[in-house]
Structure 1
Amino acid sequence: MSASQGYVGGDDLALATAEGGSDLLEAVPGMIATQHSGTGKAKQYFLRGFNLDHGTDFAAMVDGMQVNFPTHGHGQGYADTNFVIPEMVSMISYLKGPYYAMVGDFSSTGSASIGFKDMLERDFVSASVGEYGRQRLVSGMSRPAAEGNLLFGLELEENDGPWVLDENLAKRSGLLRYSAGNYDERFSVTAMAYDSSWDATDQIPERAIASGDLSIYGFVDPTVGGRTTRYSLSANWRRDQGHVRTFANAYSIYYDMNLWSNFTYFLEDPVNGDQFEQADRRMVYGASFGKTYFYQELFGKQTNHTIALQFRWDDIDQVGLYKTKERHRLSTIREDEVGVVSSGLIYEAKVDWSPKLRMHLGARLDNVDHRSRSRVGMESGVASDWLISPKTNIVYTMNDALEWYASAGYGFHSNDARAASVGDKVDPLVSSQGAELGLRYRFEQRLNTSLSLWRLDLDSELLYVGDAGETEASRPSERWGLDWTSFARLGSGFMADLDVAWSHARFSDLNPAGRHIPGVVERKLGAGLSYGWGEKGRVSLKYRYFGDRPLEESGAIRSRSSETVNVTVRGGNENWEWKILLSNLLDSQDPDISYWYESRLAGEFDAVADVHSHVMKPRSLAVELTRHF
């Protein structure tokens, strides 16, 4: 429907997930995924001039379940994909911009949908070891069962990381999936379990590195980190009958997270320190149902109509913020019970006006109902909001090689239920408006390139507050930019890809503090080159660069730019495969993430405003061996 959508699978997916499920979303062209607080925590994402924190304004779906959590303990829209076993993923489909009616909350910049395999070509066991205590074991097997297929996957990982403080990551993931059906009807049910615990090395003040008091891999508080537990059951069904497709989805999720952080050290409490705990425990229930009517007639033109209903209920038993010391609670800052019920009614029509011109027209009617009740005070409240979001995509096919696209639409993100229902209330739903022009050019099977010029405006920005560890509603903003993505087969086994993204992002109101949006990456370049031989052999080189970025509203203080190079070599035969991953080949010591705020270290008498950074992992080697059965 636009130049900014596509699919990632096969070798490209394997390269993007070489270091685990947390890197899945970086397979989306233009996306940057970084880490600043331990491998078990959700990645920090950047796309189209947005610092998306851990998922605000980018929707992530897994097997029909939206991963983003509204009113989350760490920040609105938190999207943790660590529970996904990469070897079980069949494909990632992505959409950029708010132009697609089937995607709702948190999707202003785009969305990605992760789908699982129904069966494996062969069973396998894979073991990998690497520097800094990395050990990972993955197993997968599938069997015919009850006229369908049963798929099982297991992932075990331990990792200390390169930090002065061992990370002590202990990760366990499991998947059991049954699927059945044929071309006319498909059904699947998937159960997943995930548990992870880790110690974290957070961002550290650059003044301590400059003085020699801390190594670039050092830490201030040795007791920060986290643990996450997630269980889910999801089912998907589709049936084609004549010119009608019926589809449905249902899921339930149990989620429990505790996260300990200390970004300001001894700024607020010189005796006990500023460590705090964020807790989140909830059940999530969701469902969707819809029909598509193919080959209908509208104004004498062939038209497909889709109508669907989506529903989700987040029953949050505990979302809390606590003052802690060495992970022991000293006091409760806030603890709430929250309910978030959201629903959406969707209509979409695809009209073929001519053999060369087609149009997608769509709209969403969304509702959200919030309720919150404080466990430590008398605060309680309710809030409700409605929003209509029209969308359109126009495609003109010039010839077999070239297509032109024009897209426009309204999207939205929801705000934290506590902020929307008590105190100085913010709007429960905040609108975004986007548009883009683009083209896609294909030359035989050798070149696929797309170019898009886009703009996106938000009525209110969701910004990450570093010293509080959460997101808050902020000022309105405007962005525009250019995306260019290319994939090429160069012949003789060579393949290349190029991913260029440039954006201009500013707050749209007038404020003496300035108009720059903190943390925005305005320039991103990704490039890859690979060479394959035989049936299994391939060597791949991946380069990633993202430019410096403003750390506060005036734009005077900026982070350094960052770049890294990864190399993957693999080979094997019918029964065995091996892979060597060399990460950060040039041993870059650029920051993975940087913030600007006040902090105070032990021995300092006053608050100091400083850049706080988390360095990239140093050069490291990992080896993986896989046995197929």
Structure 2
Amino acid sequence: MRYTALPFPLLLLSQAVNSHGLSIEHIEVNGRETRLIGEAISASNGIAGQDEISTRPMLRTGEVLELVPGMVVTQHSGSGKANQYFLRGFNLDHGTDFSTTVNGMPVNMRSHGHGQGYTDLNFITPEFVHYIEYNKGAYNALQGDFSTAGSANFYLTPGLQQDIVSVEAGENNYLRTVAGSTLSFDDASLFLGGEFNRYDGPWQDISEDINKVNGLVNYSQNTGNGSVAVTFMAYDNSWNSADQIPARAVASGLISPLDSLDTTGGGESSRYSLSVNVTEGDFYASAYLINSDLDLFSNFTYFLDNPLQGDQFEQVDRRQITGGEAGYHFSASPGKMDWMHQIGIQVRRDDIDEVGLFNTQARQRTGTVRSDNVDELSVSVFYQGDYLLNGKTTARLGARYDYLTADVNSDLAANSGSADDGLLSLSAGLSYIFTPHLEGYVNAGQSFHSNDARGATLSVDPQSGDIADPVDLLVRGNTAETGIRYFDSEVLNLSASLWWLELDSELLFVGDAGNSEASRASERFGAEIAAYYWFTEQLSVDVEVALTHSRFKGSEEGEGNRIDGALGEVVSAGLRWQFAEGWDSTLRLRHFGPRTLDSYGDVESSALTVVNAQLSKRLQNWTFTLQALNLLDSDDHDIDYLYESQLQDETAAVEDIHFHPIEPRTMRIKAAYRF
């Protein structure tokens, strides 16, 4: 059976299409899915289930994405905002060039107030994730905007095997409660879940004062030849921020690594969504409605632009997203060749009521940099076909066409206008089963990321008033990969790949400044290996290594060819030992290598190495869990930047490294009851 990355309605029911026809097989994903010989589309795609999610000690919700081998998840500000993501040599910022969906709904935000592709995963409750399907590279025609480096599709549980109530507590006033219950009927089920989280954080001069509430209602019903699923999600959060700080302020003793220079940063965020997914035979359709709000206050340069009131600014984003997808599967077998086809259409509209950037002091507005409303509409059609050439060889061909149009209504008339663009993206792959335990892959594909619509209609810099050049609305990316996957019973699972990726231009709207920047074309290549070994059913180890070389192409006066923030090496390793009846332990190491912080490579960030541990004991319906996060109490940095800032007692700008420390060692204990 060849695993096919199908849209949400089929995946929600854990179904897959057999490459020999349309017969349906049931797939149950618990831990990491390892038996992918003859099923995976490349050496670097995979599936991780709830069993593995539950054994990962995590400081933040967003770290669930580190189940994607080679992915790095950090934070440079308050815990309530989207994380920073790194993969395949990209500093993905908050999500550009990596696409994320939840139950078929897009998470990446276009033309967002804090940055293009903004991906906030705080509305997800990890206990309610059934499994994650991930792809690296652009080899799947179903994936479009933001997916050049890869994608992750989250599928929430339609119902837990056992109802659950849990309470988790820890240092710095950490409190988290989760409850979930499934009501079953003849041909239907109703899942109700909720999460509440409070946390003050370890910072010495502020309390994060996180107040997060998540809600999930999931109704699923079989209809004989298909299914209907309705999902409602709710998220609301408020917090104070501990932003990155300049190294010189720490070195001089002005502040400690756990202090801030502006203690009034923070924000509020909410997300409410309703989605409907229908399958009927070989046809599927989905629709969604999302309402998202963000108010974010930050200060990264302190007194550089405004020596009297400071440089704090507010970023605002309020929008409604509507859209959906429809598709059809069919097969044909001319001669001796088996074909499996999938065609479909995807539609998305972002109705952005307000996206703005304001000058503030202590969260009070003192001026407007720019304020806009934006209407973006995209229509995409795709085709993907699997061709079984013989019993060992499968070819995959894909094509999609994306059209994006945007209207910008700006407070500065010169920056109002319309833009549109379209791209045809092609992909192809070939896999060959050498033995029942070994399969090889060759893949190539095209993808893209959209740029902020405000950058595409820009003519005047809103801060300086200078003439500004607009950017392209869509930016092409090309990827290629070759690799192998080896699986030997339940002893060893190994995948290795060599990959290459180029972007026509790393064009991004800079949300912190309110203007756009166009950089050169870029090229990246690298090697990845992921190995999972089971000594016994009770003892297993995993090691993931990703090495990347990243450079700008061509030359530019006054600039080098290094890509700022590109991450060259990632190592992740874990040991899981179920050493006695009911006892389960996990020890994990994460190492992120240094990153160049300037285009010449003269300044590098520090490396980050952190060890997390988890120990749990199950007693009948009870499970007790102890977590030690940053077990060795490392004082490494979550993230480093190089830029100019000015402290209150300074008379000129100073270029300096600005960093956000990882949180000191923290202990948490959890009690969960299942019934």
Q: Please indicate, yes or no, whether the TM-score normalized by the shorter chain is above 0.5.
A: yes
Aligned partners of 1:520, 1:460: CA distance in 2, in Å? 15
Paired residue for 1:166, among 207, 210, 214? 207
Q: Aligned with 1:221: secondary structure?
A: coil
> Equivalent residue for 1:188?
229
**Could you tell me which residue of structure 2 aligns to residue 212 of structure 1?**
253
Whether 1:14 and 2:14 are equivalent positions in the alignment is no
Task: Note if contact 1:466-1:597 (Cα within 8 Å) is conserved in structure 2.
Answer: no
Check whether the contact 1:233–1:252 (CA below 8 A) recurs between aligned residues: yes
Q: Which residue in 2 is equivalent to 1:133?
A: 173
Q: 2:141 maps to what in 1?
A: 101
Counterpart CA distance in 2 for 1:284 and 1:189 is: 17
Of 174, 188, 197, 2:238 maps to 197
Within-5 A mapping of 1:595-614: 595-614=641-660
Q: State which of 291, 313, 332 in structure 2 corresponds to 1:276.
A: 313
Distance in 2 between residues matched to 1:508 and 1:211, nearest whole Å: 39
Give the one of 532, 541, 551 matched to 1:506: 551
Identify if the C-alpha distance between structure 1 residues 158 and 462 changes in structure 2 by more than 3 Å, giving closer, same or farther.
Answer: farther
1:495 pairs, out of 528, 540, 552, with 540
1:25 partner SS: helix
- 2:264 aligns with 223
Alignment check: 8 A CA contact 1:314 1:340 kept: yes
Change (3 A) 1:16 1:421: farther
| Residue 117, structure 1, aligned to residue 154, structure 2 | no
* Contact kept in structure 2, 1:264 and 1:467, CA below 8 Å: no
Q: 2:322 aligns with which of 276, 280, 285?
A: 285
Q: Deviation per CA, 1:4-48: give whole Å up to 9, x if none.
A: 100011332123463453222121111000011111111100000
Q: Which amino acid aligns with 1:339?
A: D
Equivalent residue for 1:451, pick from 483, 493, 496: 496
Q: Deviations over 1:79-102 (max 9, x none)?
A: 101001111110000000011100
Correspondence 1:154 to 2:189: no
Residues 287, 324 of structure 2: 8 Å contact kept? yes
State the distance in 1 between where 2:234 and 2:540 align. 37
CA contact (8 A) 2:500 2:526 kept: yes
CA distance in 2, matches of 1:503, 1:293: 39
The 1:467–1:378 alpha-carbon spacing in structure 2 relative to 1, beyond 3 Å, is closer
Q: Which runs of 5+ in 1 are unaligned?
A: none
Q: Who is 1:555 aligned against?
A: 601
Match of 2:374 in 1: 338
1:526 Cα deviation from its structure 2 partner: 0.2
Match in the other structure for 1:264: 301
Asked if 1:422 corresponds to 2:468, the answer is no
Which string of whole-angstrom CA distances, capped at 9 and with x for unpartnered residues, describes residues 150-185 of structure 1? 001110000001111111111010001101217842
Supply the distance in 1 between the matched residues of 2:166 and 2:511 (Cα, whole angstroms). Answer: 38
| Contact kept? 1:178, 1:188, Cα under 8 Å | yes
Matched, 1:39 2:79: yes
Distance in 1 (CA, whole Å) between partners of 2:516 and 2:586 is 37
Q: What SS does the aligned partner of 2:120 have?
A: coil
1:67 aligns with 2:107: yes
Is 1:618 the counterpart of 2:664 in the alignment? yes
AA in 1 matched with 2:660: H
Map Cα deviations across residues 119-148 of structure 1 (whole Å, 9 max, x no partner).
111111100000111100110001014730
- Alpha-carbon separation, structure 2, partners of 1:536 and 1:237: 40
Q: 1:430 to 1:524 in 2, by over 3 A?
A: same
| Residue 426 of structure 2 corresponds to residue 390 of structure 1 | yes
Structure 1 contact 16–23 (Cα < 8 Å) conserved = no
User: C-alpha distance in 1, partners of 2:55/2:73?
Assistant: 14
Q: Which amino acid aligns with 2:659?
A: S
TM-score normalised by structure 2 residue count: 0.90
**1:546 matches 2:582:** no
Counterpart-to-counterpart distance in 1, 2:413 and 2:297: 23
Q: Deviations along 1:352-383, whole A, 9 cap, x unmatched? A: 00101001100011100011011354531101
CA distance in structure 2 between the aligned counterparts of 1:464 and 1:558, rounded to whole angstroms: 25
Task: Give the letter for the 2:309 counterpart.
Answer: N
How many angstroms apart in 1 are the aligned matches of 2:519 and 2:74?
Answer: 23
Local SS of the residue matching 1:222: coil
> 1:469, CA displacement in angstroms?
8.6
What SS is found at the alignment partner of 2:435?
Answer: coil
Letter in 2 for 1:213: L
Q: Which of 376, 384, 388 pairs up with 1:352?
A: 388
2:14 maps to: none
Is 2:343 aligned against 1:312? no
| Pairs within 5 Å for 1:521-540 | 521-534=567-580, 536-540=582-586
Distance between the aligned counterparts of 2:514 and 2:606, measured in 1? 22
Which amino acid is the alignment partner of residue 278 of structure 1?
Q
| In 2, Cα distance between equivalents of 1:469 and 1:369 | 21
Question: Shift of the alpha carbon at 1:410?
Answer: 0.6
SS at match of 2:405: strand
For residues 145 and 50 of structure 1, the distance between their equivalents in structure 2, rounded to whole angstroms, comes to 47
What is the root-mean-square deviation in Å for CA atoms of aligned residues?
A: 1.5
Does the CA contact (< 8 Å) of 2:270 and 2:293 recur in 1? yes
C-alpha spacing 1:568/1:372, structure 2 compared with 1 (3 Å): same
TM-score (norm 1): 0.97
The separation in 2 between residues aligned to 1:339 and 1:474, in whole angstroms, is 26
Instruction: Tell me which of 628, 633, 648 is aligned to 1:587.
Output: 633
Q: Which residue of 2 aligns with 1:48?
A: 88
Match of 2:406 in 1: 370
Cα offset, 1:53, TM superposition:
0.2
CA offset digits 1:524-575 (Å, max 9, x no partner): 0000001014563211100000111111111101101110000000011221
Percent sequence identity over aligned pairs? 43
1:234 to 253, 275, 278: 275
The one-letter code sitting in structure 2 at the alignment partner of 1:106 is F
Q: How does 1:235-254 map to 2 (within 5 A)?
A: 235-240=276-281, 245-254=282-291
Stretches of structure 2 lacking an aligned partner (at least 5 in a row)? 1-40, 460-468
- The Cα shift of 1:466 comes to 9.3
1:582 counterpart letter in structure 2: A
Q: Does the aligned pair in 1 maintain the 2:538–2:579 contact within 8 Å?
A: yes
Aligned residue number for residue 561 of structure 2: 515
> Residues 532 and 458 (structure 1 numbering): CA distance in 2 closer, same or farther, change over 3 Å?
same
The answer as to whether partners of 2:58 and 2:64 remain within 8 angstroms in 1 is no
Matched, 1:409 2:445: yes
